[in-house]
Amino acid sequence: MKWHGIVLVIVALLGLSAICVRAADSKPTLPDGLMGLKATLSGKVVSISDNARTYVLKVEKMEVVDGNKASDPQSAVGMELTISVSWEADAKGNPRPVPAQVAYVKNLKPGDATWVTVSNDDGMRLHIKAFPDAK
């Protein structure tokens, strides 16, 4: 009986480590040619995260804006890219997602045509800088 308990604990720990690896692998990634991208992307919404902090856009058109440092910005066309809301400090100085951007993402539906101006200032994310006004 004790032997079965030890095996069960080992199997559980191995399963937990596999889940942690999978979670780490699911972080947004950005192709090298898009690092430093500042552009307006147009396309169709593929999916929206449950917490409305990210969505996936199938890029149909791309136009660089001032400050772009990406080496291959045109490679965005045809890609499905994860777009993230930007963060700001609340009244107490704690970080929070920009409420207007979260509201914009919440109103999106898969298949919607939209545009968004994004910036990759650091890391592997494209953050929203401008978006269509809510109607």
What was the pLDDT predicted at 21? Answer: 34
The pTM for the full model equals 0.77
Residue 63's φ and ψ, nearest 5 degrees, are -135, 120
Q: Within the chain, which residues score under 70 in pLDDT?
A: 1-28, 134-135
State the Cα–Cα distance between residues 83 and 96, nearest whole angstrom.
Answer: 16
| CB atoms closer than 10 angstroms to residue 27 | 10
Q: Which domains does the chain have, with CATH numbers?
A: 32-130 (2.40.50.140)
Smallest CA-to-CA distance from 78 within 120, 133, 34 is with 34
What was the pLDDT predicted at 29? Answer: 80
Q: Alpha carbon 92 to chain centroid distance?
A: 26
| CB atoms closer than 10 angstroms to residue 84 | 20
What was the pLDDT predicted at 79? Answer: 97
Whether residue 124 contacts residue 83, with contact meaning beta carbons closer than 8 Å, is answered with no
